[in-house]
Amino acid sequence: MFGDAKKNAPCIVFIDEIDAIGRQRASGGGFQGGNDEREQTLNQILTEMDGFKGNSGVIVIAATNRVDILDSALMRPGRFDRRVPVDLPDKEGRVAILKVHCRDKPLGGEVDLDQVAQRTTGFSGAMLQNLMNEAAIYAVRSDKETIGAENIDSALDRLTVGQSKDTGTNQKKRQELVAWHEAGHAVMAALTPGYDPVAKVTIVPRSNGAGGFTLFTPSEDRMDGGMYSYRYLVAQLAVALGGRVAEEMAFGSDDVTTGASNDLQQVRSIARRMVAQWGFTATDERPSGGTLRAPVAWELPEKNMGSPTTASKATERAIDREERKLVNKAYATCKETLKTNRALMQALVDALLDRETVDGAELERLVAEKAVVSTFAAA
């Protein structure tokens, strides 16, 4: 390969997924797990790259998603010494990528690629290509000559939350329960200033086990920056608790279901990180230099609960106290907000039971007609 590259100079040699052959070798020689062929291939690549002297007209480029496991010999000066990070595309980039993958696909006049890009925050180019391919399949199944907005919407749902199912949709009690649960999430989010907008609420069950879902459109700036404010994190707690609170409101505490189990896991994870990792407490006064700070084992509880305890028992108790305060405060806020807006909740539940899915625009209309000022807005 390298010999052919020299003969055809100027030339670019591109090696995709180089971590398959270029991962770190064990200190005792050979690869961890043992693979002589892979080691020989890596050694040959290193030798060939050392053979390019001066301006040979050959540029070697490699791609990987795991630069952290590459052998240090590959990364030394004179070899792959220049790193070019390729981040996920922003909204403008997603629009451009969608246009490329729509060139040979007829789109309906109502399709707005800008709106599609808005709803695909965090998608890679390959995921956007797959999205349009799935949308084309939905259009063909519907005997349509063009890809409509509903086809793209169905494809997006399938890629993010799984394939829709008919099982359970004829069970009135089940549908009513899911409608109240999802309405709790959606209303709490809609009444929280600065929170992620609701794109869709549905009670159609999915192949991933979800009985329904509330889909949000995350803030581009917030995701790109990776920084979340105390206000936003507290709002996340309240929104996640919305389903459980709504079930209690509609059916009473004795008939609350296990449907909120994933929500409660999310609440616990966020609350613990707020205290142990980010130094937040439930009080209005932010902690100073003497804030609670737990060891690393506590910072990712969902991955480390089986780890040996490295914090003192007093510190563990203090973390648990602050965590409970955060959750209790968010629960009280959520309960007060949803009780105050019972009419809005009922209107959304009725709409879901009638049509199964409510989009963000319709939810905004219901909020404008029925909402009472939220606890968050009044604070």
Q: Which residues are catalytic?
A: 182
Contacts of 124 (CB under 8 A, 6+ apart): 88, 89
Distance CA 144, CA 368 (A): 36
Neighbours of 217 (CB within 10 A): 16
- For residues 62 and 18, is the Cβ–Cβ distance under 8 A? yes
Handedness of CA 71, 77, 80, 81 (dihedral sign): positive
Nearest residue to 140 (alpha-carbon basis) of 148, 271, 315: 148
Nearest residue to 301 (alpha-carbon basis) of 329, 321, 281, 320: 320
Distance CA 237, CA 376 (A): 12
- What are the angstrom distances between the C-alpha of 148 and each of 113, 134, 333, 361? 11, 12, 40, 18
- For residues 375 and 337, is the Cβ–Cβ distance under 8 A? yes
